[in-house]
Chain A
Amino acid sequence: MNKLELQKKAVAVRKGAMTGVYCAKSGHPGGSLSAADIFTYLYFEEMNVDPSNPKDENRDRFVLSKGHTAPGYYAALALKGFFSIEELKNLRHVGAFLQGHPDMKHTPGVDMSSGSLGQGLSTAVGMALAAKLSNKDYRTYCLCGDGEIQEGQIWEAAMFAGHRKLDNLLVIVDNNNLQIDGTLEEVCSPYPIDEKFKAFGFHVININGNDFDEIDKAFAEAKATKGMPTAIIAHTVKGKGVSFMENNVNWHGKAPNEEEYKIAMEELEKEAAALC
């Protein structure tokens, strides 16, 4: 996909995330929007996955360690064809397979259940280790939140990945600088994130995580990096693409009302139109 196509797809992912959260009357729009470009790049450019064969043993794997941003993830999976776009409207409804946090047992395309912060990276490390042990060449991707890396288990997993030189593992940190109780610096600063991953044996790349040129370059660099895992610190804007949600921590875990939803969708449609 070229840059323009990716940008258009990212707008569709954002619209899908907004629709999901709006219909659920709950959920996490802020982090879904900040990571929308990463979701888009993973599923429409980077990963070797086939919606008609979601359990293919040679597929690339993805773990959404910051599982609460499932609305953005689900939108990318739906647009990729793992399930119908209409299904997004059932998010968080009783009986729906789109749970509040990813459920691998019932959702096509989801490689790992997640949601309890800090645990996803360990599972991604297990998948990357499995590839090494069985001489398979699939890659494993893991998206972590910047607040999430306050969890100690993230660093247990990073230590193991660095120790085992898992160069088939790419960790992306969605560094939107906001967590529920405020900015990262206000709550409990994990900075400098890049230096920490370097110290754990990672090749580290800092990028603007809402810019496809930079995402594209960084993912290529990660793939070319041998002998160590890579961490991309994706500097993003929480709520990206919806003006009143941008950089506003109040939109971490709140659904828009009808009027707010209308404005959000209009803004996104306007952005889509500008890309045509």
Chain B
Amino acid sequence: MLETKAIATRDSYGNALVEIAKEHDNLIVLDADLAAATKTAIFKKAFPKRHIDCGIAEANMAGIAAGLSTCGYVPFMSSFAMFAAGRAYEQVRNTIGYPHLNVKIGATHAGISVGEDGATHQCNEDLALMRTIPGMVVINPCDDVEARAAVKAAYEYVGPVYLRFGRLAVPVINDEETYQFEIGKGITLREGKDVTIIATGLCVSESLKAAELLAQQGIDAMVINIHTIKPIDAELVVAGARATGRVFTVEEHSIIGGLGSAVMEVLSEYLPTKVTRIGVNDTYGESGPAKELLKKYKLDAEGIAERIKADL
């Protein structure tokens, strides 16, 4: 695989907001004193009057976003996943989700790849939390191309959307010229006969690399990118499971409640298949450089390949 460049999806978020806002006056961005980190500062520079800093008050930000949305604005409320999905969970559930308001939640710094800030800021539970809210769309893009397309799709979709972005620069694996994003439609990136890897977020590029490592050992892995955790592409999950009869899910999230759980729910119901969940094993993260943490938690290509080979 040719790696031309690496971009953090939080940068994609900031850049996409600027692009969309050029054409749509009703797009408005809210932040909670993290504009430099969530990259909405890029938007603030381009559209200062449409960037609302709410201060360090995420619960209030969620409510303000809800109120703005009832008046015709399309607010993107931005913070770290820990605070957007965690701190403000009940506000998102009751004040945005219940009335099905047209609010987009841009959650950056998800997962252990937050790195040095450590466990308090590494949210491995957001997909689980957001997935249980009725009517909430949950998207976890894998690279810059997909992330920018996801922001655009979220803007165009009418209703609440949770967008998960990362802090760590990740390889750009999609070709902007040919890439097509559709909410709820997974993408088969690699065909294979022996095992099906279903991955999301930054684990997609790592899983593609893992598939190459497995190939060297005679294991032919299919790789599916599930960027939309909800609604999940049940058809593709079932087809992927049928193709090899053995499924591994890979996510930078707790093995409880995220992609792994969503895939198992689908397969238990439609095509019982053995599934192994690779993710954060019901534990907290810790401080350290992001890449070293991914290695330690076996979420890099080598760790994923090792786990698959051992469990197959």
Contacts and interface: CB of A to CB of B under 8 A. Distances in A.
Interface in B72-105: 72-73, 75, 90-91, 94-95, 98-100
Contacts of B65: 126
Interface string A139-169: 0000000000000110011011001000000
Interface of A: prevailing SS: helix
Contact of B59 (A112, A131, A156): A156
B28 interface: yes
A112 B55 contact: no
Contacts of A222: none
A127 B68 contact: yes
A122 B67 contact: yes
Q: Which of A103, A104, A127, A156 has the most CB of B within 10 A?
A: A156
B57 interface: yes
A122 B73 contact: no
B94 A125 contact: no
A119 interface: yes
Nearest to B95: A119
Contacts of A111: 70
A134 interface: yes
Contacts of B57: 153, 156, 159-160
A130 B63 contact: no
Nearest to B94: A116
B62 interface: yes
A129 interface: yes
Contacts of A115: 94
A133 interface: yes
A130 B95 contact: no
B68 A157 contact: no
B67 A133 contact: no
B52 interface: yes
A127 B68 CA distance: 5
A128 B63 CA distance: 12
Contacts of A57: 71-72
Interface in B20-56: 28, 49-50, 52, 54-55
Q: Which of A112, A122, A133, A159 has the most CB of B within 10 A?
A: A122
B59 A130 contact: no
Contacts of A120: 63
A153 B91 CA distance: 10
Nearest to B93: A116
Contact of B66 (A118, A123, A160): A123
Interface residues of B, number: 30
Contacts of A118: 59
A55 to B, nearest CB: 10
Nearest to B56: A156
Nearest to B30: A126
Contacts of B180: none
A122 B54 CA distance: 11
Given A160-B55, A160-B57, A160-B60, A130 B99 contact: no
Nearest to A157: B60
B63 A127 contact: no
Q: Which of B75, B91, B94, B99 has the most CB of A within 10 A?
A: B99
Contact of B99 (A105, A124, A126): A105
A125 B72 contact: no
A126 B60 CA distance: 9
B64 interface: yes
Given A113-B95, A116-B90, A160-B54, A129 B62 contact: no
B115 to A, nearest CB: 29
Contacts of A131: 71
B92 to A, nearest CB: 11
Contacts of A172: none
Contacts of B73: 130, 133
Contacts of B71: 57, 126-127, 130-131, 134
Contact of B98 (A113, A134, A156): A113
Contacts of A35: none
A112 B99 contact: yes
A153 B54 CA distance: 12
Contacts of A121: 63
Contacts of A116: 90, 94-95
B100 A126 contact: no
B70 to A, nearest CB: 6
A176 B100 CA distance: 33
Contact of B72 (A130, A153, A160): A130
A163 B56 CA distance: 13
24 contacts: A57-B71, A103-B98, A112-B67, A112-B95, A112-B99, A113-B99, A115-B94, A116-B95, A119-B94, A119-B95, A122-B62, A123-B63, A123-B64, A123-B66, A124-B67, A127-B71, A129-B68, A133-B28, A133-B50, A134-B71, A157-B63, A160-B54, A160-B55, A160-B60
Interface of A: 57, 61, 63, 103-105, 111-116, 118-131, 133-134, 152-153, 156-157, 159-160, 163
Task: Across the A-B interface, give the 7 residue pairs with the lowest CB-CB distance, nearest first.
Answer: A126-B67, A122-B63, A130-B71, A156-B60, A156-B57, A126-B64, A123-B67
Given A122-B67, A156-B57, 4 more contacts: A119-B94, A130-B72, A159-B55, A160-B54
